[in-house]
Amino acid sequence: MKPDHINHLALASCWVQFLALASFLSLPVLGQTEGQTKPQKKVTKNLSPDFDKTNTSPPPEEIELARLDHHHQLLEASLGPLKTALSKLDELALSNARAREYEAAIAARIEREHIATDLDRIAKELLILETRKQFLKTSLLPDHILLPLDNAKLESVRYDEEKKWLNHWDRPGAYAEWTLPGVPPGGYEVLLTYQCSPLEGGTIMINEKTFSLSGEMDTTLRGPEVKNLGTLKITDGNTPLRLTARTIVKSNLMNLLSIELIPANR
């Protein structure tokens, strides 16, 4: 193998990384210098008093999230060409070694190590970007995520249209289930607002794809109470979230008035 062939592969991998870096830093395109950018004309308009209310800019977190998403996609796009270059360099090093062209084989191995180092760096940067994206997504969440009772999938549980609660948890295994609204993975406190008479009650469990919490539904003598089941780790923000009766004292576990999730960092 000719050394200039290896240089072409190296140049190709560098070009892929340059494109990602140029987009990330908002560099000017080829053939255009900063001085060639045409200045935009300033246009003055008479704005109505409600302009600021109806034309609000997106929060800075959303802009940063969009930028991180774009950079993440560019880095991911560079992985394929770099992996292809690694495979080709492996083949070239092996074929040159068999042909006793040892200098070319060594050059291919050295270039392969450089690209492998770049891949490792990109993998670490992708992990950092993903962590940052999850943090920003969590910061954009509302303080309380209310799961609608009338939109739950029910098994041996009824929704009372008049009182707007879930009741008639009449056997162990009865459940109400919601599909999470695309929340980012992380910890969420689970709060239940409920009523429970002395002849009602039992134990309940809430679970997502992997993790679960359980607790006892105590008697409420002074009207509805709020019970904090603890912090549930959610691994998939689109997974079903199921609230299940494990044991029942008599004929009904409770009257559930609301269920809400609170991001653990609030």
- Looking at domain 145-263, its CATH superfamily turns out to be Galactose-binding domain-like (2.60.120.260)
Burial class of residue 254 in the structure, from the number of CB atoms within 10 Å of its CB (0-12 exposed, 13-18 middle, 19+ buried): buried
Provide the token pair at 124: 């670490």
Distance of CA 130 to the CA centre of its chain: 8
Domains of the chain, by residue range, sit at 3-139, 145-263
Provide the token pair at 120: 């490792």
The DSSP secondary structure of 195-214, one letter per residue, reads E--TT--EEEEEE-SS-EEE
Let me know: does 166 contact 159? Beta carbons within 8 Å: yes
pTM score:
0.57
Tens digit of each residue's pLDDT, the chain (266 residues): 445 555 545 554 554 454 444 444 444 433 444 444 444 444 333 433 443 445 566 668 778 878 888 888 999 899 999 999 999 999 999 999 999 999 999 999 999 999 999 999 999 999 898 888 777 776 767 788 999 999 999 999 999 999 999 999 989 999 999 998 888 888 999 999 999 999 999 999 999 999 999 999 999 988 899 999 999 999 988 889 999 999 999 889 999 999 999 988 76
Query: In the sheet where 175-179 sits, what is the strand order?
Result: 153-155, 175-179, 240-248, 202-207, 212-217
Q: Which residue has the tokens 């970007």?
A: 129
Provide the pLDDT for residue 187: 92
Provide the pLDDT for residue 38: 44
Provide the pLDDT for residue 239: 87
CA-to-CA separations, 143 to 140, 193, 234, 241, 260, in angstroms, rounded: 9, 16, 16, 19, 10
Provide the pLDDT for residue 122: 93
CA 221, CA 258: separation in Å to the nearest integer? 18
Which residues is 244 bridged to in the sheet? 175, 205
- Count the neighbouring beta carbons within 10 Å of the beta carbon of residue 142: 11
Orientation angle between helical segments 60-98 and 3-25, nearest 10 degrees: 180
The dihedral formed by the CA atoms of 204, 208, 212 and 215, expressed in degrees to the nearest 10: -20
Let me know: does 115 contact 15? Beta carbons within 8 Å: no
DSSP symbol at 175:
E
Provide the pLDDT for residue 40: 43
Provide the pLDDT for residue 253: 95
